[in-house]
Structure 1
Amino acid sequence: MTPVTSPSPSSLTVLVIGTGGREHALVHALAQDPAVAAVHAAPGNPGMAAEATLHAVDPMSGDAVASLAEELGADLVVVGPEAPLVAGVADAVRACGIACFGPTGAAARLEGSKAFAKEVMEAAGVPTARAFVCTTVEQVAAALDELGPPYVVKDDGLAAGKGVVVTEDRRAAVDHAAGCEQVVVEEYLEGPEVSLFAITDGRTVHPLQPAQDFKRIRDDDQGPNTGGMGAYTPLPWAPAGLVDEVERTVLRPTVEEMARRGTPFAGLLYAGLALTSQGVRVVEFNARFGDPETQPLLALLDSSLATLLLAAATGTLAEVPPPAWKPGAAVAVVLASRGYPESTSSGGEVITGIDRAEEVDGVHVIQAGTALSGGDLVTAGGRVLAVVGTGADVAAARAAAYEGVAAVEFEGVQHRTDIAKGI
């Protein structure tokens, strides 16, 4: 393997892998970073084209991504989505001697297998829900009986944020498990949920500020789970010392346990948390930036994103100051296509009003499921856009975001009206 060297964090050429809203948010932040000279995205989306050069590359092919990085003379590759990370795309890039932000395929199992994540948490003493790993109908039935309702059943593998069922209906829980090869059945955790990301090089851990996302498709947390319908940061109601506590009891023990196993985790460690009456509990781990929490978080980041990611990729994070944050708040509201998440329209609905939305003070629009057709911007996925508003506080940021939402139109559009309401 070619050793990865640390280039000077100035005039960097950065390649972002992926097509969605998370990747557009990363491109948007990197394009404004003084340390960055050029941003490329593969395969990207139309929204990224204004700030990055796009390349038609299969994001699941490590060889293709590595070859493109070499061709571009990239100083840093950022792998956005979970599926390429679990497939080992970051390994292929590093094998060419190019710095890559994202865990190895072995370390990305923290997201790729919920059973593996539970095993790691148990070994590291990380507080989490009691759970059973099940591969048969009989095991599922026994676990449901043992834990009782509400029933929580999680597909063990990757499911794009939609592999979890939380229900009082035992039949629905059994049916969900029947459609999965292996599931984790776990106790229901009562309490508000928080997303806390941390950038790590496998030794040093730099937490970001907490965010909260909204998983259900409809207002008041009704309807099925989605990949996320909105998010906001910071959390004025969060307990004092939450970040320090999670760093001490969750993030550092997990990073240390992964290193002990010989599969150090370097990249973005995402801890989904429940703040229960018994204390903080881990709901899930992800191995990459979360979507849509990344959109408001990066809107408030006051540090060089490229410098942080490069240091994590080259094992030098201890030499970089922790992330700094702009004052105020940010709120992201997702606009989804008709039928999402149960089904998605065939796409092709013309999108208008993005320019008008971005005329609102403090608003920018992140594209996810979009495409170009005959010169028009059209829908091409379940979650189509995220309108991000910033302001002096959560209420002001929310007002800006929803003013932007009102300007955007496409046939069948759906969005929640209660993101960050009353905060």
Structure 2
Amino acid sequence: MKILLIGSGGREHALAWAISGSPLCDQLWIAPGNPGTAQCGENVVLDIADHAAMISFCKLRGIDLVVVGPEGPLVEGIADDLTAAGFKTFGPSKAAAQLEGSKGFTKELCAEFNIPTAGFGRFSDAAAAKAYVASQGAPIVIKADGLAAGKGVVMAETLDEANDAIDMMFSGGLGTAGAEIVIEEWMIGEEASFFALCDGKHALPLASAQDHKRVGDGDTGPNTGGMGAYSPAPVMTKALEDRVMAEIIAPTLAGMAKRGMPFQGILYAGLMITAEGPKLIEYNVRFGDPECEVLMPRLKSDIVPAFLAACDGVLDAFDLRWSDEAALTVVLAARGYPGTPEKGSTIRGIDKAEALDDVLVFHAGTKQGAADLVANGGRVLNVVGLGKSVSEAQKRAYEGVDRIDWPEGFCRRDIGWQAVKREQG
């Protein structure tokens, strides 16, 4: 098969790594890709916002399957346009991608179909939003309705912080993403990431993971796109997984189908495991990043038939096998992230990290300079360790981190702390 993968981050490097290992993959192109994906296939310079150009490339190369990595193109309808042009495309339609593209849409869906989630209000003006916050009290959560690259959530511990977040969003601090906001109750519990492969009618549970959103050790500082992750998540027992499928995933699929927008692709449920049970924090409509970087190394099955089964609506007769090993990834980020990252600094030593047993390095925000690899984004590298336990995977990941020579980079040193604490009793 000739396959096109759309995207350029760490998630796409992990997907390219998995897809290129499939016996079904004859040729793999990545648009636009990064220096890491270039090791798995051929990077192509395409503007992924130019759907006509994407279709022309698919026609020119005779593409058999398109896999869409990031959420932006999905929310903009790339899957609809490619499918209409006759190309099998893994990823939801523009209508179905509203599950991530609009937090308000998802909250209304939860209310309509009795999907457990935090109490909320939806607002398009600051005065009403502040009045709601005053009535609810703090702590409270302020969310931009639209896509904000993982930076659209403010965990406000005081009323002043909440009002500042409201002002920031409505004054354009997050662009059009903050034109409308959702305000939620502050849920208490442990977070987990749950993934389901969907074909519009059926859902196949994938492995669980936990990520670390805060920039600093001890889960401190502002939210980011994710500073690390591990899989499996010990909190996600089989009984809990069954509840999530029955109470959250299944009614979501049924609700979307009833609305005439069946969901096909990856449904990523960000969960809070509360005293009452699992509740939905939010949906993403693609593999998480950095969660994808720990899921792909644990997947023993071929990923390409799984994508095809989702596209063809036959997941009810499909299954996937997962390694019992744990995987843990540490994100190396550029100084200044999650604000304005410093770009252009030289990165060395990746080969030394990759020389270690059970260590992988996935590129995210890198660029090939004239002589050396350089940083070209906020989250720059993902160093993955594998092991019989999360503790062992953590040890190997940090051994890999310490072999990389990049003084301008930083990382958290406590990724996986909750699972390690559990394992140590």
For the criterion TM > 0.5, the same-fold answer is yes
Mapping of 1:62-81 within 5 angstroms?
62-81=51-70
Q: Specify the SS of the correspondent of 2:155.
A: strand
The residue type paired with residue 262 of structure 1 is G
Q: Specify the SS of the correspondent of 1:208.
A: strand
TM-aligned CA deviation for residue 142 of structure 1: 2.0
Q: Are residues 168 and 128 of structure 1, via their aligned partners in 2, closer, same or farther at CA, if it must alter by over 3 Å? A: same
Say if 2:134 and 2:159, in contact at 8 Å, map to a contact too.
no
Q: Distance in 2 between matches of 1:300 and 1:160?
A: 26
TM-aligned CA deviation for residue 409 of structure 1: 2.1
The residue type paired with residue 295 of structure 1 is E
TM-aligned CA deviation for residue 292 of structure 1: 0.4
Corresponding residue of 2:174: none
With normalisation by structure 2, the TM-score equals 0.94
Q: Which deviates more from structure 2 when the two are superposed, residues 139-148 or residues 256-265?
A: 139-148
Corresponding residue of 2:97: 108
The residue type paired with residue 300 of structure 1 is R
Matched, 1:18 2:15: no
Q: Deviations over 1:44-73 (max 9, x none)?
A: 001110111111111122222222122221
Q: Distance in 2 between matches of 1:47 and 1:328?
A: 24
Q: Percent identity?
A: 45
**For structure 1, which runs of at least 5 residues remain unmatched after alignment?**
1-11
The residue type paired with residue 294 of structure 1 is C
Corresponding residue of 2:324: 327
Q: Specify the SS of the correspondent of 1:341.
A: coil
Corresponding residue of 2:232: 234
Which residue among 297, 300, 307 is the counterpart of 1:299?
A: 297
TM-aligned CA deviation for residue 279 of structure 1: 1.3
Q: Distance in 2 between matches of 1:343 and 1:182?
A: 24
The residue type paired with residue 84 of structure 1 is P
Q: Deviations over 1:326-361 (max 9, x none)?
A: 12100000000001002211x111111110001111
Corresponding residue of 1:337: 334
Corresponding residue of 1:367: 363
Which residue among 283, 286, 291 is the counterpart of 1:285?
A: 283
Q: Specify the SS of the correspondent of 2:327.
A: strand
Q: Deviations over 1:30-49 (max 9, x none)?
A: 11122222211000001110
Q: Distance in 2 between matches of 1:169 and 1:148?
A: 8
Corresponding residue of 2:204: 206
Corresponding residue of 1:164: 153
Say if 1:389 and 1:398, in contact at 8 Å, map to a contact too.
yes
Q: Distance in 2 between matches of 1:320 and 1:375?
A: 46
Say if 1:209 and 1:243, in contact at 8 Å, map to a contact too.
no
Q: Deviations over 1:231-261 (max 9, x none)?
A: 0011234344121111111111101110111
Which residue among 258, 261, 267 is the counterpart of 1:260?
A: 258
With normalisation by structure 1, the TM-score equals 0.95
Q: Distance in 2 between matches of 1:173 and 1:70?
A: 50
TM-aligned CA deviation for residue 154 of structure 1: 0.2
**For structure 2, which runs of at least 5 residues remain unmatched after alignment?**
170-177
Q: Distance in 1 between matches of 2:272 and 2:398?
A: 27
Q: Distance in 1 between matches of 2:197 and 2:378?
A: 28
The residue type paired with residue 242 of structure 2 is D
Q: Distance in 1 between matches of 2:394 and 2:407?
A: 24
Matched, 1:418 2:414: yes
TM-aligned CA deviation for residue 170 of structure 1: 1.9
Corresponding residue of 1:127: 116
Corresponding residue of 1:42: 31
Q: Distance in 2 between matches of 1:238 and 1:285?
A: 17
Corresponding residue of 2:162: 173
Q: Distance in 2 between matches of 1:125 and 1:66?
A: 39
Say if 1:61 and 1:89, in contact at 8 Å, map to a contact too.
no
Q: Distance in 2 between matches of 1:366 and 1:169?
A: 38
The residue type paired with residue 116 of structure 1 is F
Q: Which deviates more from structure 2 when the two are superposed, residues 196-205 or residues 31-40?
A: 31-40
Q: Deviations over 1:311-339 (max 9, x none)?
A: 11222222322x21012100000000001
The residue type paired with residue 235 of structure 1 is A
Q: Which deviates more from structure 2 when the two are superposed, residues 137-146 or residues 264-273?
A: 137-146
Corresponding residue of 1:380: 376
Corresponding residue of 1:316: 314
Aligned residue pairs total 410
Q: Distance in 2 between matches of 1:70 and 1:391?
A: 43
Say if 2:192 and 2:235, in contact at 8 Å, map to a contact too.
no
Say if 1:147 and 1:186, in contact at 8 Å, map to a contact too.
no
The residue type paired with residue 228 of structure 2 is G
